[in-house]
Chain A
Amino acid sequence: MHIVVPIKQVPETNAVKMDEKTGTMIREGVEAIVNPLDLYAIETAVRLREQYEGDVVAISMGPPKAEAALREAVAMGCDSAVLLSDKAFAGSDTWATSYVLAAAIRKLNNYDLVICGERATDGDTGQVGPGIASSLDLPVATYVGKIEKFSNGYCRVHRLIEQGHEILDVKLPAVLTVVKEIANPRLPTLRGKQKARKIDIPVWGVDSLKVETGRLGLNGSPTRVVKIFRPKLARQCQKHVADDDQAVVQAVDKLVAFLQQKQLI
């Protein structure tokens, strides 16, 4: 089984601090990590390789330092990695990102599955997986929580939707996006880390890919960010302090009256 896993390097959003005045992110000191939801994609791919043999290639489009994310993927068990990095890719929206990733996967040529994370925690769109599938003209199953079996060129998956799990037979090659339920990501092993340190990670730019330059980066992106601002919160809260038994009873009485007046009880 030949598998490609597109992964993204993202800022550690739990630690994100905002500049209150400008509404921009303070990037200094914010660690760059592998998109946490992509760890599930890596784990899924590595398990399939362990079961069915073949190989797993991790790819990432990003600045040169995204190489660190790829090394982590190798440490977790991916066999090789390719970095897609070029100034021409900067400022890509999900359309242009899908386009470049698809071109790279096409160049890798030999693949049965492309496994993406559900979404990236920074952009948070979940659009790139289906976008890659569309660009490559492949079927896509999103929100996959379980891969049941492979037979006759099909892969049977459980797809998590609002009302339950759909069971689907998906013809290979295909793109899957996976959710947390699918597997628990492993920690890198010592051997994995050693391999990751040594492995040569090729960098592909515009010249290595069959792409139209007009479709890349900011120029190739249909969408534009025109404004960034801080969310405003506004409600008039009537606050009651309940710091002793009597105050508790009073506050609760007021709350019950409030709920009655709003016809909520």
Chain B
Amino acid sequence: MDYKGVWILAEQSRGRVQRISHELLTRARQLAHNRGTDVAAMIFGHNIRQSDLQELIDRGADRVVAVEAPQLEKFLPEPYAACMLKIIADYKPEIIIAGATSTGRTLMPYVAVRANAGLTADCTVLDIEQETGNLLQTRPAIGGNILATIKTPSHRPQMATVRPRSTKPAAKQHGRTGEIVRLKAPAHCLESRIKHVGFIPNESEHSLQESDIVVSAGRGIGKAENLPLVQRLADELRAALGASRDVVDRGWLSYPHQVGLSGKTVSPKLYFACGISGAIQHLAGMQTSETIVAVNTDADAQIFSVADFGIVGDIFEILPVLCERLKQAGSRQ
């Protein structure tokens, strides 16, 4: 098999390269290093900024292939799949990794079926098996209760998605050089039985995944009426408000707040868990946070096993005192 190179699917929105692309470069560089090969990025869009393409090189790509056409401005499964299949035919990538975004999760399986390739979703760890050079893909399974390592022994390319925010973006290295190829998409790649007819943006711009600090409420808050207690802490820390699934299932907060396996993955500088037990499915969405603080009445709660700082105590007693102290500390500055 003459398949080689680690490729990422870079994503763009309105011609600007998205952060997930830089996160994927972190993974790709490490894999390419272990495999002794190069990193390439494919990106589909229209009028993608040249400086953003160069930035992919600065952050670790050796080659960038941008396929462009007005019809590729927004994601559509058929033309995007046709473009990716063209890249597979022309360049024969050994590995393709994409973000587990609404785009990646749709495009990758569509392509994998056509390309007769193996695909593993939501990998948390990617590595190379030294003896064979196969990609080792580790992902949570059965509700996060176990981790499974999966490989694709005899089909190429090997394809995988990884969750957004599960790694840091690759750092810029000045003076890195690489090749940027801009291609006009061939007409036969642009046919689509789906048309974009409109867009309704989310109401709140404030995004859980982009916040440096996330304060999350668990069932320990007891009832919806107690949410302001946690909200106040979030306000003091200028944090986004997260929640466990229990809180969302009870309708105390809406689904976009949910952190965990079936919610969002966050990786903030500080994750503050209030009255959360630390079920494995919750941990799956936050354990890569830089610093974790937990307040829980149960000294044996599992959340403490991933926390850096824990208070065994009642949130109704701790949080008001803490908010007061943070306010004082804030006004002193």
Chain A residues near B (Cβ < 8 Å): 11, 13-14, 16, 18, 23-25, 93-95, 98-99, 121-131, 133-135, 138-143, 156, 158-171, 174, 180, 221-231, 233-243, 245, 247-249, 251-253, 255-256, 258-260, 262, 264-265
Whether B105 and A142, one on each chain, are in contact in the complex, defined by CB atoms closer than 8 angstroms, is yes
Whether A240 and B237, one on each chain, are in contact in the complex, defined by CB atoms closer than 8 angstroms, is no
Cα distance, A169 to B197, chains bound together (Å)? 7
When C-beta atoms are compared, the residue in chain B nearest to A233 turns out to be B305
10 contacts between A and B (CB under 8 A): A124-B141, A127-B109, A130-B109, A143-B102, A169-B195, A237-B308, A237-B309, A239-B312, A249-B321, A264-B291
Cα distance, A230 to B163, chains bound together (Å)? 20
When C-beta atoms are compared, the residue in chain B nearest to A121 turns out to be B143
Interface centre among B120, B121, B193 (most CB of A within 10 A): B193
Whether B142 and A161, one on each chain, are in contact in the complex, defined by CB atoms closer than 8 angstroms, is no
Stretch among B1-9, B53-61, B151-159 lining the A interface = B151-159
Known: A142-B105, A240-B310. A169 touches B194 (CB 8 A): yes
Whether B121 and A241, one on each chain, are in contact in the complex, defined by CB atoms closer than 8 angstroms, is no
Whether A162 and B102, one on each chain, are in contact in the complex, defined by CB atoms closer than 8 angstroms, is yes
Interface of A is mostly: mixed
Cα distance, A235 to B306, chains bound together (Å)? 5
B269 at the interface (CB under 8 A from A): yes
List CB contacts (< 8 Å) of B175-224 with chain A.
192-202, 213
Which residues does chain A contribute within 8 Å of B111, judged by CB atoms?
Answer: 134
Whether A242 and B140, one on each chain, are in contact in the complex, defined by CB atoms closer than 8 angstroms, is no
Whether B146 and A25, one on each chain, are in contact in the complex, defined by CB atoms closer than 8 angstroms, is yes
Cα distance, A169 to B196, chains bound together (Å)? 7
Which residues does chain A contribute within 8 Å of B195, judged by CB atoms?
Answer: 168-169
**Shortest distance between the CB of A246 and any CB in chain B (Å):** 11
Whether A134 and B109, one on each chain, are in contact in the complex, defined by CB atoms closer than 8 angstroms, is yes
Whether A25 and B299, one on each chain, are in contact in the complex, defined by CB atoms closer than 8 angstroms, is no
Cα distance, A38 to B322, chains bound together (Å)? 44
Which residues does chain A contribute within 8 Å of B199, judged by CB atoms?
Answer: 164-167
**Shortest distance between the CB of A11 and any CB in chain B (Å):** 8
When C-beta atoms are compared, the residue in chain B nearest to A126 turns out to be B105
Which residues does chain A contribute within 8 Å of B120, judged by CB atoms?
Answer: 125, 223
Known: A127-B119, A134-B114, A252-B321. A231 touches B102 (CB 8 A): no
Cα distance, A11 to B143, chains bound together (Å)? 10
Whether A229 and B141, one on each chain, are in contact in the complex, defined by CB atoms closer than 8 angstroms, is no
